[in-house]
Structure 1
Amino acid sequence: MFNETNGATVAAEVTHKLKTKENYFTIGSSHAIDSSTLLKTRFSNGGKVGVLCQHEWRLKSTVSISAEYDPKMVIVRPTWRISRFGWLAAEPNGS
């Protein structure tokens, strides 16, 4: 589903595993906050949540911040990443 007025997109994915007979689904969205900022979100039925924010601060130069949380991994800290120029990335270690 795409809305041309505000650049919002919503999509869904459904997966069925034949071996375990389990169904999984993921719902994602994308929204253009302004002409240079994009916000994406993702939710799954297992409780996993992800978010990505990209901002083009100069021509062909973007800054991206992303985070993901999985409630099944309560011992591990949530994952987050910061990236600049698409080739430089920073990620915290899990300790």
Structure 2
Amino acid sequence: MAWMAWTWPTAIFFACIAALLILFTILAIRSPETPRTGVLRIETTRGDRLFISLLGSAYINLAWLGLIGVYQPAALILCLVYAAAVFRWV
């Protein structure tokens, strides 16, 4: 895989995504849930909210890179706050 520049941060990122998917699969098997309606007025499950938070976090990080620069730890904190809000209210 020399064509792709694998670095440790990239590998950690994809490992975390894989771990989240495994965790949410186990949660869905152990305790099935019923969809709930939040502020968007659509029914969402845990998996839907995970997808919304991951997609929104990608946009937050891209906007952060474009507007502020490469100091990403503050963007990570903003993404965590965003994900907590999505899981709470969406």
* TM-score of the pair, normalised by structure 1: 0.26
Q: Comparing both chains, which one has the higher relative contact order based on Cα–Cα distances under 8 Å and sequence gaps of 6 or more? A: 2
Instruction: Select the structure that is richer in strand.
Output: 1
